[in-house]
Amino acid sequence: MCLQIAFNDRMQLSDRKFVVLRELRGRATLPGNHVGDPHPREPFPRSILVDDDATLFTEEREILSDSHGTGISVSDEEGVNFGIVERNGLKGPFRAPSFSVTIDHAKGFPAVTFVEARIRSWDGSDSSFKATLRGRSRIIRPGMKKTVQIKFIPEFEGQFEATLQLIFSVSRQSGRFAVLRRLRAIAGSLEDHNRFEFLAQETYIPRSGSARQIPPEKITPLSNPARRLGNLPEYELPPMVQEAVDSATIIDAYNNKAPDLIAALRPTELTMGTYAEFFTALLSVEEGHQLRDILDQRPSEVEVQKEGSRYFIEFENSDEDLLPEALLGDFLWLEDSQDDVYYDTRITKASVFMRRDLAVLKIYLQVPTSFNLYRGAIFLLHFRLNRVTLRRQYHALASSLVHLRRFLFPSTLDIKPIRPLSEAEITKLSLVNEKIREDEQQLQTVVSILQQPKGTVPFIIFGPPGTGKSTTVVESIMQLLHRDDGAKVLACTPSNAAADVLVELLARAGLTVDQLLRLNARSRVMESIPVGVLAFSASPERAKIRTYRVVVSTCSSAGRLLMQKIPTGHFSHIIIDEAAQAEEPLSLIPIAAFSSTSTNVILAGDPRQLGPVIKSNPASKAGLGKSYLERLMDISEMYGLDTQVATTIVELQQDRRSHGAIIAWPNRYLYEDSMHASATPDVSHFLLQSDVLPKKGFPVVFHGIKGRELRARNSPSFLNVHEASVVRDYCQRLTQDREHKIYAEDIGVIAPYKAQVRAIRELLRPADLKDVSVGSVEQFQGQERKVIIFATTRTNSEVDRRRALGFLQNRQRMNVAITRAQALLIVVGDPEVLGKDELWRTFLNYACLRGGWTGKMLTWKPKEEVHVPRYEVIPRPGGVVYDESYVDGKSEKIYRYSSS
């Protein structure tokens, strides 16, 4: 039914300049509302009075009665929806559909003049809708009909919304009135949207949960559970933390109690005397969060199968990354709901393999002797918290820390005098990688480490993205071994991936299987060990371990050496690579266990990239989220780049990864203009003439798109089909370019949400692009690709900055995401949402002003000055700006150089 427009001809426009008429029967909703939209929009105005220049005013002043109508009615009262409009081919233009809106003028009313049709985009940008009145005459007499043709002509993908304003005039005395209709359309792939459209019909329901308390008398224990950690104490949670876990019904309830727990357990100051108590308190609050989180998880229904005398469970998924994480030695509960019994079980073997294009995780279980399948094979599986690494951290903190003062709280008095290498000695150094001689900072790092006397303070290698930090670490290890036959090195990293990279580099440098040991956790699945690392992986006896010149492990697995009775001081050097990613108690595991008065510690990392992964936000803010490396770098008199270069710290500055245009923005806003582009042009300049570039010669692209974010009912993770489609199209265009050949394995796609990662993989698979690496920012730390595409995903502009951006606001994640690219960086996102953050706005301005923009345009002037919150930076010669910024209650770091 059409909306009848009413106009009171007794009202003077000067008295009521703007009068809004809404349909009396009810209010329509704006486009974008759908089932499950957590942010419904305001009601849509159907018709309004306008002033002489037809400026619309949305404030409702008075609802008119329809006693004196104009007789005008307009079709399509609920608006015009063009649906999904597709391209003509991969690179072709979009189809341009049209739609007609009919204007009826009832008999018995005065003639009305059609003034014009205006279309206003809801975000203020140029509209992709066009409206024209058919026919020459604009006068609509009683009984006549007129047609307005609306065309949708998109230039880029996304969700489009606009308001159609049909402006009429009854007489000069009466002024003008407008009829409004909403216009909606999607430019994109129909097939892609249909694949995920079911999510639009779901509403995300946060876990309400209830405390899952399993009475001990209902648990059937294992008769002989294996001890994984020897005689390492259990280190049970403090009673008040355990009580908070037990009484909280959901994780948010526990988080609300966490600040009070920290206040009660943690000393207010961090000193040598309070160190152990300080971090033990924070670690226990973090463990409580992990425990409460795993208790909140819904148990999964599984089928237990039998193979000979062994029981096993299988999980299948098209995406290997979405399989459950199962570690050898983990304990699980199998719930028999019929008998209300819980069986204690332990994983004795785990393997991953492919079956019919599906990734399969197969885990074998040790079960109680009374366990059987007589009553059926279906059980509820409850995961339990793996406390191995936590117990090792507690143990490190409980150790005698007196001899560690020079490591934990170094002072200038602890810096031992060095015997500098002469120029002749430096020239005679037989470098494994001679390219290091061409890099002043890399060579200085190697020399500084060689010059360090025994028992001095920690040495820091500060390595921004692409500056060859791991290469420098490897060269330093090789030189230490070459100069001192008695040197033995324990090299640790926070993750298996980083440790594997270190082993591969050391093997390439010439270490043999008799010299190099990759010490893996007992729980590691063999299939996950790279082929090049497998030969160095073993579980040798104590006597054999002592013969290796270099042992590489994760910080946690270094604790395995305690069971082998490796004495303190056995290793002359303890090196922690990617140290900025490790919480301080994790870094402490190898240092507390094996350092002596003569041991030297070397930390390599970049606190401006990813930091420790701490689940408890209160514990992170209270100090657990700051790495050991970052805390030391905050001691400016010890690690200032203006005073202590080459003595305690060296900053690597030659970026050998990326094209200069890719690192220009992070260099300015995050690294105080300290980096220098030094990449090999054969790689970094390879795509300067690619067809995907809006401006040839500038290999940074921002693709603006207004998409639509979706969440499944049982998942808090977001996905954005529009952006996933754009990512797939870029991958196709790049791999199909014969002039600038790029292979699927040359492309990396980063997305901040698991659901988006999965959506992109699902779209890439049928396009024969399964070799494109798709993962989270964390998965790409330390990696590089010729092409990086960053799909930012979020597009809800109606919430505040904190909620809209989520952890996109994390500067370390942003830094890692955009510095993985060697030759081409493509960022896909909604500029309206990203622009809410000052730092993101500077990146958008950079891309726009340099010509790297495509898609939905900015709604602000890119030359406008942006105030970026700043805070204390590393002291440097030439002037430094000191400031502190707090974002979302947490001190955020943005590094800016000042020449003043």
Percent of the chain topping pLDDT 70: 83
User: Average pLDDT for residues 48-54, to the nearest whole number?
Assistant: 44
> Residue 607, class by beta-carbon neighbours within 10 Å (0-12 exposed, 13-18 middle, 19+ buried)?
buried
- Range in 26-40, 273-287, 646-660 the model is least confident about: 26-40
In order of their start, the domains of the chain are 3-188 (2.60.40.10), 221-401 (no CATH), 434-652 (3.40.50.300), 660-868 (3.40.50.300)
CB 601 within 8 A of CB 459: yes
| Chain centre to alpha carbon of residue 190 | 28
Helix axis angle, 496-508 to 469-483, nearest 10°: 50
pLDDT at 67: 24
Candidates 111, 6, 11; CA nearest to 69 is 6
120: enclosing H helix or E strand? strand 112-121
pLDDT band, very low/low/confident/very high, at 57 (cuts 50, 70, 90): very low
pLDDT band, very low/low/confident/very high, at 228 (cuts 50, 70, 90): low
Residue 259 has pLDDT above 70, yes or no: yes
User: Per residue in 453-472, pLDDT tens?
Assistant: 999 999 999 999 999 999 99
Q: Which residue has the higher pLDDT, 200 or 835?
A: 835
For 519, the 3-state DSSP assignment is coil
User: Per residue in 514-554, pLDDT tens?
Assistant: 999 999 988 887 878 999 999 999 877 877 899 999 999 99
User: Per residue in 546-557, pLDDT tens?
Assistant: 999 999 999 999
d(CA 491, CA 500): 11
pLDDT at 172: 64
pLDDT at 748: 97
Residue 605 has pLDDT above 60, yes or no: yes
d(CA 79, CA 768): 40
pTM: 0.82
Average pLDDT over all residues of the chain: 83
pLDDT band, very low/low/confident/very high, at 293 (cuts 50, 70, 90): confident
pLDDT at 668: 92
d(CA 825, CA 535): 36
* Owner of token pair 């200085």: 444
pLDDT at 496: 92
DSSP letter string, 199-236: GGG--------------GGGEE--SSPPPSSTT----P
